[in-house]
Amino acid sequence: MDFTLTSEQQMIQDTARQFAAAELEPLAASFDRGENPTAFTGNLRKLAELGFMGLAIDADYGGAEAGSIAFSLAITELARGCASTAVTVSVTNMVAEVIQAVGNAAQKQQFLPRLCSGEYPAGSFCLTEADAGSDPAAMKTTAVCEGDHYRLNGSKMFITSAAYAGVFVVWAVTDPSARKGKGISCFLVDRDTPGLRIGKAEEKMGQKASTTNTVHFEDCLVPISGLLGAPEQGFRIAVGELAGGRIGIGSLALGLGGAALDYARHYLTERRQFGQPLAEFQGLQWMLADHYTDMEAARLLLLNAAALKEGGLPFAKQASMAKLFASEKANRACYAALQMLGGYGYIKEYPLERLARDARITTIYEGTSEVQRIIIARQLLSEINYP
């Protein structure tokens, strides 16, 4: 399989790398401390101007039409500079992709140009609830049809970018009598809709500049035109969204692991112990070799999943494999890189402790590693017609 990048893909990768180095990396530590929120959202708008908020969206709506491979490459490079920015870009792209894939002409025209242009700094998914995380079919949020609108009630939690999202893709139960998972519908809810309320921001271990909030819907009236896709088809939409999002999170993890290893590699050539550079010690050389090999394998898994998605082929199993492997190996790479710096790695003056904290969530969101294993195993068994 030929993974040689096209000239457009190479340009997008180079642009993302340059932007991360010039605009994101210098501010990442301050973002982690909760500083410069205006600069953070300003960078999101700059990325929109560069075309990064609609990488796979049609040009008619302001998108770049660059595809899933370019999306993966871009998220990897942005994550090397700032994971909080990268996850915001990733989720916003997936919001746009779901609207493009499932929305009607009016919905596409209303929301896609605003997401792609940066008029909306971000988009958000409202799927997870307090008792419906890995099991989204257990959600309790309801949407009752009342003539020309739906009345939405419930709360969603752990919502990425909720504080500055312009549009929310919201899942709710519209047929409570249906079998579990079959009575769920999907809605597009504008930020200014009465009854939508953003709760407090969570205090997180990492990726702190990416706000994570509870979103409350209290007699929130959504017009019939806000229904995304057919009624009671929301669970199918969610499954498709999560599969694509896993390519984004796996790519983000790859960027974090690569950044940590690159920093440690240079450090080993400069730091001396026992009269020689640390890079001369075979044990450390082997650590580098093993973890860089893991990152290369993760890169190929992600490119494979992205290529299948871009080609319109089934990719859910490959996306889960890529996300599982990349996130687990990136966490190990970050901790190994921190270990190579010894005590310095534990100090905030150096980026390793932040990268390790930022990487930790990648094995949890967009489906935990345990859920990925379930998905992969079920697909493998279904391929041999196991009941």
- DSSP labels for 207-240? -TTS-EEEEEEEEEEEEGGGEESSTT-HHHHHHH
User: Among 99, 120, 141, where does a domain finish?
Assistant: 120
Q: Which region holds residue 62: left if phi is over 0, alpha if psi is between -120 and 50, else beta?
A: left
DSSP code of 132? Answer: B
Q: What pLDDT was estimated at residue 240?
A: 84
DSSP code of 202? Answer: P
* Three-class secondary structure of residue 85 per DSSP: helix
**In a shared domain, residues 163 and 60:** no
Give a yes or no: residue 209 inside a domain.
yes
In which domain, by residue range, is 215 found?
Answer: 125-232
- Collect all residues with Cβ–Cβ distance below 8 Å to 77 and sequence separation of at least 6: 13, 16, 17, 19, 20, 255
* CATH number of the structural domain spanning residue 82: 1.10.540.10
User: Among 68, 86, 120, where does a domain finish?
Assistant: 120
Residue with tokens 């998905």: 375
**In a shared domain, residues 190 and 55:** no
**In a shared domain, residues 133 and 112:** no
**In a shared domain, residues 228 and 364:** no
Give a yes or no: residue 26 inside a domain.
yes
Q: What pLDDT was estimated at residue 239?
A: 87
Give a yes or no: residue 183 inside a domain.
yes
Give a yes or no: residue 314 inside a domain.
yes
Give a yes or no: residue 387 inside a domain.
no
* Three-class secondary structure of residue 133 per DSSP: coil
What the block records as the tokens of 354 is 């932040």
Q: Which residues pair with residue 190 across a beta bridge? A: 167
- Collect all residues with Cβ–Cβ distance below 8 Å to 289 and sequence separation of at least 6: none
How far is it, in rounded angstroms, from Cα 121 to Cα 43?
9
CA distances from 108 to 3, 47, 61, 66, 234 (A): 32, 21, 8, 18, 18
* CATH number of the structural domain spanning residue 301: 1.20.140.10
Residues in the chain: 387
**In a shared domain, residues 95 and 157:** no
Report how many domains make up the chain. 3
**In a shared domain, residues 254 and 333:** yes
- Collect all residues with Cβ–Cβ distance below 8 Å to 102 and sequence separation of at least 6: 186, 228, 229, 237
**In a shared domain, residues 297 and 374:** yes
E-only strand ranges, the chain? 122-126, 142-146, 149-160, 165-173, 184-190, 196-201, 212-223, 227-228, 272-273, 276-277
Clarify whether 366 is annotated catalytic.
Answer: yes
Give a yes or no: residue 1 inside a domain.
no
Cα 103 from chain centre: 21
Under a CB-based contact definition with an 8 Å cutoff, are residues 73 and 12 in contact? Answer: yes
**Count of CB atoms situated within 10 Å of the CB of 386:** 8
* CATH number of the structural domain spanning residue 218: 2.40.110.10
Which of 77, 241, 353, 366 does the annotation list as catalytic?
A: 366
User: Among 201, 232, 263, where does a domain finish?
Assistant: 232
Give a yes or no: residue 21 inside a domain.
yes
**In a shared domain, residues 332 and 201:** no
Q: What pLDDT was estimated at residue 1?
A: 67
- Collect all residues with Cβ–Cβ distance below 8 Å to 72 and sequence separation of at least 6: 247, 248, 250, 251, 302, 303, 306
Give a yes or no: residue 2 inside a domain.
no
**In a shared domain, residues 259 and 228:** no
How far is it, in rounded angstroms, from Cα 188 to Cα 103?
9
Q: Which residues pair with residue 185 across a beta bridge? A: 172
Closest by Cα among 20, 101, 105, 96 to 63: 96
**CA torsion angle 224 227 229 232 (round to 10):** -100
How far is it, in rounded angstroms, from Cα 306 to Cα 313?
10
**In a shared domain, residues 220 and 166:** yes
**In a shared domain, residues 242 and 224:** no
pLDDT tens-place values along the chain, 387 residues long: 678 999 999 999 999 999 999 999 999 999 999 999 999 999 999 999 999 999 999 999 999 999 999 999 999 999 999 999 999 999 999 999 999 999 999 999 999 999 999 999 999 999 999 998 889 889 999 999 999 999 999 999 999 999 999 999 999 999 999 998 899 999 999 999 999 999 989 999 999 999 999 999 999 999 999 999 999 999 999 888 889 999 999 999 999 999 999 999 999 999 999 999 999 999 999 999 999 999 999 999 999 999 999 999 999 999 999 999 999 999 999 999 999 999 999 999 999 999 999 999 999 999 999 999 999 999 999 999 998
Q: What pLDDT was estimated at residue 138?
A: 92
Residue with tokens 């609830």: 129
**In a shared domain, residues 256 and 224:** no
